[in-house]
């Protein structure tokens, strides 16, 4: 595997153990994600989007094929805390303050935390704009604020890869748009590779440098689309632009075809 790649798959199949043989949720995946890329992932329900993220995080085994994470097995990256996960639900501990929740990765499996010799919870709090709320508890926060805490917690061990499974899916549109901008700023500052699952076509275009489109029945790669043509020199675009709307229409057509 090239040193420039964060994730590489060859003929990857994922699923779960059935009564007679493995049930494949996603199969035949050939993919290369460069270090520092922002890859968004679209696809109909049941096509394997979340399953793929879980395999990268070493939360599920692979059935067939090959998966390399930072040039090694997913288990090696997990042990070194090089991969972090942000789920749709913030999953904060209700009895811990915002700052204490962010510090949690440093207190669990300490001997495996090799990348945080200089813990910086206050830095991550500032990066997500919550320094003034460090002493609050999760029930005292809005949904968007809780997701900011979850992102800061994931960044605490300074992962090279950040996996995000519909983290803004339950938020209102205005909050979601604001968090999209904040996430892009975090990505530029940290240089992390981000894989971001979403059901929003517009969000996939706005955030991603490329978008991976998965199809269902069976789960498979349908298309990998470079989005550089709709981005400016800073990697940004306007959601309302004609170019973005044209790409969005194409993606929606792929989703209709892939969900058939």
Instruction: Provide the pLDDT for residue 109.
Output: 61
Residue 186: Cβ within 10 Å count: 20
CA–CA dist 251, 224 (Å, integer): 10
Q: What is the pLDDT of residues 104-155, one digit of tens each?
A: 887 776 554 544 445 678 888 888 889 999 999 999 999 999 999 999 999 9
Please indicate, yes or no, whether the overall pTM of this predicted structure exceeds 0.75: yes
pLDDT, averaged in runs of 10, over the chain (260 residues): 83 84 87 96 93 94 94 92 91 93 78 53 87 93 92 90 92 90 93 96 96 92 95 90 94 87
H or E, element range at 150: helix 143-155
Strands (E), 169-245: 193-197, 210-215, 220-226
Instruction: Provide the pLDDT for residue 108.
Output: 72
CA–CA dist 260, 256 (Å, integer): 6
CA–CA dist 43, 199 (Å, integer): 7
CA–CA dist 224, 246 (Å, integer): 16
Q: Which domains does the chain have, with CATH numbers?
A: 34-62+73-82+160-260 (3.40.50.300), 93-158 (no CATH)
Instruction: Provide the pLDDT for residue 151.
Output: 93
């Amino acid at each position: 595997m090239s040193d420039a790649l964060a994730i590489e798959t060859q003929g990857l199949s994922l699923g779960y153990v059935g009564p007679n043989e493995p049930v494949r949720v996603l199969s035949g995946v050939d993919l290369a994600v460069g270090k520092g890329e922002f890859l968004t992932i679209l696809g109909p329900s049941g096509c394997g989007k979340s399953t793929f993220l879980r395999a990268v995080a070493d939360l599920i085994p692979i059935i067939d094929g090959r998966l390399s994470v930072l040039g090694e097995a997913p288990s090696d990256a997990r042990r070194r805390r090089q991969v972090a996960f942000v789920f749709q639900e913030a999953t904060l501990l209700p009895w811990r303050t915002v700052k204490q929740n962010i510090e949690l990765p440093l207190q669990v499996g300490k001997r495996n935390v090799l990348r945080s010799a200089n813990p910086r919870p206050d830095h991550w709090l500032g990066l997500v704009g919550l320094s003034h709320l460090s002493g609050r508890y999760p029930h005292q926060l809005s949904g968007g604020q809780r997701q900011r805490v979850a992102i800061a917690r994931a960044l605490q061990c300074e992962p090279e890869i950040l996996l995000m499974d519909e983290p803004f899916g339950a938020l209102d549109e205005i909050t979601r748009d604001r968090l999209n901008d904040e996430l892009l700023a975090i990505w530029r500052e940290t240089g992390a590779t981000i894989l971001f699952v979403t059901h929003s076509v517009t969000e996939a275009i706005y955030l991603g440098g490329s978008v991976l489109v998965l199809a269902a029945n069976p789960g498979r790669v349908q298309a990998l689309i470079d989005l550089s043509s709709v981005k400016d020199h800073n990697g940004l675009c306007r959601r309302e632009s004609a170019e973005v709307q044209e790409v969005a229409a194409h993606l929606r057509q792929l989703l209709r075809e892939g969900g058939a």
